[in-house]
Amino acid sequence: MTFPPLPASLEAALAERGYSDATPVQAEVLQPEAAGRDLVVSAQTGSGKTIAFGLAMAKDLLGDADTLPFSDQPLALIVAPTRELALQVSRELAWLYGKANARIATCVGGMNPQQERKALRSGATIVVGTPGRLRDHLERGALDLSGLQTVVLDEADEMLDMGFREELEEILDATPETRRTLLFSATMPRPIEALARRYQRDALRIATISEGRGHGDISYQAVTVSPPEIENAVVNLLRYHEAETAILFCATREKVRHLHATLQERGFAVVALSGEHSQSERNQALQALRDRRARVCVATDVAARGIDLPTLSLVVHVEIPRDAETLQHRSGRTGRAGKKGTAVLIVPFSRRKRVESMLRHAKISAEWTDAPHREMIKAKDRERLLETLLQPVEVEETDRELAQRLLAERTPEEIAAMLVRSHRARLPEPEDLIANTPEARREAQKDRHRPGFEDTVWFRMDLGRRQNADPRWILPLLCRRGHITRNEIGAIRIGPEETFFQIPRQIADRFAEAAARSAETDGDDDPIAFERSETGPREIARTNRKRQHGGGNADNARVRPKGGFKKFDKAKGKPGGKPNRGGKGFAKKKRP
């Protein structure tokens, strides 16, 4: 739909920028029922929401006029989670309200606070900033919010995720009760709803995200790989898509550092963003991406929040997101403003079930596939090369003379082949990946074992979760009784009534003998007995299955799932406690 009637200054600004039709979120906030009301808006990043709240607050700021009157107090406040997003919002509002004579002050970390205070004193009508810097100006008396007409919380869910609740509450408490509050958030978790209930009145809920929750302009792929092949899969994905700009998400700054160095060695134009980079380094990295000097960014979740790269078309989750909301936030960096994007999750064989569950929770349909192999990439290279070389170009006379000389020395076919080779030499070489076969998956499963634990013996002892079994006291017990180190103990499986643990076969006999001798000299009237087990922890799994399917007696139904440890203290029943030797279901062993 086209925009409804707006102040002439805003209409002229939109026309200059080529805005003719409103996006869904822009159309919703301009509906008659939204006029003058508090709003809670669920909108994906990149859906045009900056222009949406800029237009939504126009009536509050301008009234029936076309220009803003001078005011020594801010009339509108926009709070954003990151410096980059705040600067982006400031730029958008600058052109939108430029013809309305708006004075915009931006208050963010990494900038000169004295210059910001000077801008605030000079009569800023719109203030855009990050929570920490805004609170600092507020506490120093440089920011006066008593005349505020509208406050906007942009990407409120990210601000709460980043721990800015206290700052937001202090800022909102300093605003007049008559102010209008617009809350924009990609997701609506409970903390956001609680914030809305506390600071809004009769808020109108607007949801422009479909029930499917997945971003309509993003196609999702899940690529299964062997764990050692993850970096090779990243290389091939980058080469296959050859995106104008791509972001690779990692969980830790160490992983960012390692992957950044690896891709640099492979010949990719790549930058890194993580918590260890200064603001100056962040600015340089983002500018390199905008200038096309770099095409790949390796980043952590927090470091990439709020950045806006118009050419970003590929997001790769190198490490699996911690939950569905993180998946959506990461992926939402692409597919913005009506453009198409691709989000790829790299999934080790053993993590597939977890990712399938996450996708179901996010209501996202992903295509499960293998990583691109060498021949697929070369086929794509040929298509892209033909498209590039067949584009019309303007040729200077000196170039034409050089072409004639080449034709005199070489055949047209030889010249074309040299041109193809020259283009191909600039591209990083794709990797050869292990085929995604059942044999490869079994081999990957073997690789998960710690070195030295390929051949082990299971031992058992007669106490489990009901007797307060916990690895924190079991490990020292096994080391002391068996005369071994913790590095010589494999997996520990704790069941309701018994615990199993692995010992490498080459030291199993020595461990058993030492444990038997130490039982007599341990100084305990009732030492815990260890014995070999032929079956291992199969009984634990069988008990858990019976509980999950409603089998077993009533007592078994209360057993906690496998892997969950009931924690007790030494004195009060909390972590680190000793076994409950006389508890229910545990019979004391009699000395011979």
- Rounded Cα distance between 524 and 187, Å, is 56
3-state secondary structure of 139: helix
3-state secondary structure of 12: helix
E strand intervals along 80-186: 104-107, 126-129, 150-153, 180-185
* Domain ranges for the chain: 8-207, 218-373, 456-558
Q: Give which of 156, 188, 163 is closest to 79, Cα–Cα.
A: 156
Tell me the CA distances in angstroms from 35 to 19, 27, 198, 199, 201, one per residue in order.
Answer: 21, 12, 21, 18, 14
Q: What is the pLDDT of residues 314-348, one digit of tens each?
A: 999 999 988 887 888 788 878 766 678 899 999 98
Higher pLDDT: 123 or 213? It is 123
Model pLDDT, residue 5: 83
Average of per-residue pLDDT values in the chain: 82
Model pLDDT, residue 249: 94
Does 552 have pLDDT greater than 80? no
Q: Which residues 6+ apart lie within 8 Å of 111 measured at CB?
A: 133
CATH number of 456-558: 3.30.70.330
Model pLDDT, residue 137: 95
Does 362 have pLDDT greater than 70? yes
Give domain 8-207's CATH superfamily. P-loop containing nucleotide triphosphate hydrolases (3.40.50.300)
Taking the model in full, what pTM does it have? 0.60
Confidence class for position 64, pLDDT limits 50, 70, 90: confident
Question: With b meaning 16 or more CB within 10 Å and e meaning fewer, what string describes 358-384?
Answer: bbeebebebeeeebbbeeebeebbeee
Q: What is the 3-state secondary structure (H, E, C) of 403-427?
A: HHHHHHHCCHHHHHHHHHHHHHHCC
Confidence class for position 172, pLDDT limits 50, 70, 90: very high
What is Dmax (Cα atoms) for the chain?
Answer: 105
Model pLDDT, residue 566: 34
- Rounded Cα distance between 309 and 296, Å, is 11
Does 474 have pLDDT greater than 80? yes
Q: Which amino acid is at 543?
A: T
Q: Which amino acid is at 261?
A: A
Q: Which residues 6+ apart lie within 8 Å of 231 measured at CB?
A: 259, 262
CATH topology of domain 218-373: Rossmann fold (3.40.50)
What does 391-409 look like in DSSP terms, one character per residue?
S-----HHHHHHHHHHHHH
- Residue 129 in contact with residue 80, Cβ under 8 Å? yes
3-state secondary structure of 432: coil
Model pLDDT, residue 45: 64
- Residue 540 in contact with residue 528, Cβ under 8 Å? no
Q: By mean pLDDT, which of 138-152, 360-374, 543-557 is the weakest?
A: 543-557
3-state secondary structure of 35: coil
Which residue is associated with the tokens 């490490």? Answer: 319
Q: Give which of 468, 510, 472 is closest to 488, Cα–Cα.
A: 510
Q: What is the dihedral of CA 280, 286, 290, 294, to 10 degrees?
A: 110
Model pLDDT, residue 42: 84
Model pLDDT, residue 315: 94
Does 579 have pLDDT greater than 80? no
Q: Give which of 476, 495, 501 is closest to 556, Cα–Cα.
A: 495
Decide if 8-207 and 218-373 have a common fold.
Answer: yes
- Residue 358 in contact with residue 222, Cβ under 8 Å? no
Q: What is the pLDDT of residues 483-519, one digit of tens each?
A: 988 888 988 888 888 899 999 998 999 999 988 888 7
Mean pLDDT along residues 376-401: 87
Does 252 have pLDDT greater than 70? yes
- Rounded Cα distance between 492 and 352, Å, is 24
Confidence class for position 526, pLDDT limits 50, 70, 90: low
Model pLDDT, residue 454: 72
Model pLDDT, residue 103: 93
Model pLDDT, residue 587: 38
Tell me the CA distances in angstroms from 226 to 76, 189, 230, 434, 538, one per residue in order.
Answer: 52, 34, 7, 8, 27
Does 584 have pLDDT greater than 50? no
- Rounded Cα distance between 100 and 119, Å, is 18
